[in-house]
Amino acid sequence: MNVLIADDDPTIRLTLSSLLSSTGCDLMEAANGEDALAIIDSENSPELILLDWNMPGLSGVEVTRRLRAGSQENRPYIIIVSSYHEPLQIIEALDAGADDFITKPIDGRFLKAKYNVAERILTAQNKLNQANKVLERLAYFDELTGVMNRRAGMVSVEIELERCLRSRDVLAVAMLDIDFFKRVNDSLGHIAGDEVLHEFATKIHAELRPYDVICRYGGEEFFIAASMKHEAECERLFERLRLAIENMVFNNYPELKITTSIGVFIDKPVEQEDVKSLVEKADKALYKAKESGRNKVIIERKSDNSPPVV
């Protein structure tokens, strides 16, 4: 654990460092509040800070107030160190945002007990932060495939649609799934099916540009939204995806071959449109791709009375 000791008295700094040396922590020192803030803002920021109340320039309490006023993802644990011992002064330090208070002269056993409390709280805090990150990712991404989930994908499509309205770009939305996926589950089992879904999503994601939208819509169905300058680019993109899936190799199942059917709707939006309507149009094109024999790309266009592109 990184520990910062901020005190203008070098003797106090030496005493605190000696008392904490047996804990195995990495110690840093500052002689005033300004230097303490500089260390706190560095890459090697401390997790535990021992701040002397009375220092030249910024006091320990003022440093604490500044730290707590900012938004910090990894909030440091702050212990104010002071010769003050009146309840009102301790309350002032805690109200400023300090986590604990210790009075001078410093009892080594008492300091180590405070250190152990801080370590337990910081460990629990780190575990909570990690759990929150996992929950945040699960809120936006599909756990199995790693791509966005349906809800996050639809929000991203709305943003992409608005961007196309401003740029006058073409927007291609596509629904695709794995042909005869049920056969994979039936013949190889659901673990194999999960691996196929993961590899399928990984391959599609690798073929797309970083800013294209891909989400798992449900089951073996995936949804893509990609903006282009010209419609011909859309045709090339989805044919490339189809071929990439057709040529996939599964290391654990070398005999397995899969294909995908892709239904595409190409739109050049001139006004805000309903994302649900775009999804339905792509889904209808997917149905036609399956009806025409699978392993095909069917492209339909807005107000297009000509036969679909196969």
In order, the DSSP letters of 109-175 are HHHHHHHHHHHHHHHHHHHHHHHHHHHHHHHHB-TTT-SB-HHHHHHHHHHHHHHHHHHT-EEEEEE
Nearest to 112 by CA among 28, 11, 15: 15
Nearest to 172 by CA among 278, 271, 297, 286: 278
Provide the pLDDT for residue 85: 85
Residue count of the chain: 310
| Cα 263 → chain centroid | 30
Provide the pLDDT for residue 243: 97
pLDDT at residue 310 is higher than 60: no
31-68 burial, b if ≥16 CB within 10 A, otherwise e?
A: bbbebbbebbeeeeebbbbbbbbebeebbbbbbbebbe
pLDDT at residue 100 is higher than 80: yes
Segment 45-72 shows an average pLDDT of 91
Dihedral sign for Cα atoms in the order 302, 305, 309, 310: positive
Segment 124-134 shows an average pLDDT of 83
Domains defined along the chain, listed by start: 2-137 (3.40.50.2300), 150-301 (3.30.70.270)
List, in sequence order, every residue forming a beta bridge with 80; answer none if it has no partner. Answer: 51, 101
Residue 103 to residue 96: CA distance in whole angstroms: 17
pLDDT at residue 74 is higher than 80: no
| pLDDT band at 285; cut points 50, 70, 90 | very high
pLDDT at residue 307 is higher than 70: no
Catalytic residues: 220
Whether 262 contacts 289, CB under 8 Å: yes
Provide the pLDDT for residue 71: 65
Segment 114-140 shows an average pLDDT of 86
Asked which of 130-134, 164-168, 263-267 is least confident by mean pLDDT, the reply is 130-134
| pLDDT band at 13; cut points 50, 70, 90 | very high
Segment 138-163 shows an average pLDDT of 92
Provide the pLDDT for residue 133: 78
**To the nearest whole number, what is the mean pLDDT of the chain?**
91
Segment 207-233 shows an average pLDDT of 93
Residues 6+ apart with CB under 8 A from 163: 169, 227
Classified as helix, coil or strand, 203 is helix
Nearest to 52 by CA among 5, 96, 85, 105: 5
Residue 3 to residue 47: CA distance in whole angstroms: 6
Residue 94 to residue 79: CA distance in whole angstroms: 9
Provide the pLDDT for residue 306: 45
Share of the chain above pLDDT 70, in %: 96
| pLDDT band at 73; cut points 50, 70, 90 | low
Whether 241 contacts 262, CB under 8 Å: yes
Decide: pTM greater than 0.75.
no
Residue 204 to residue 217: CA distance in whole angstroms: 14
Identify the helix (H) or strand (E) that includes residue 23: none
**Strand bridging mode 260-267 / 170-178:** antiparallel
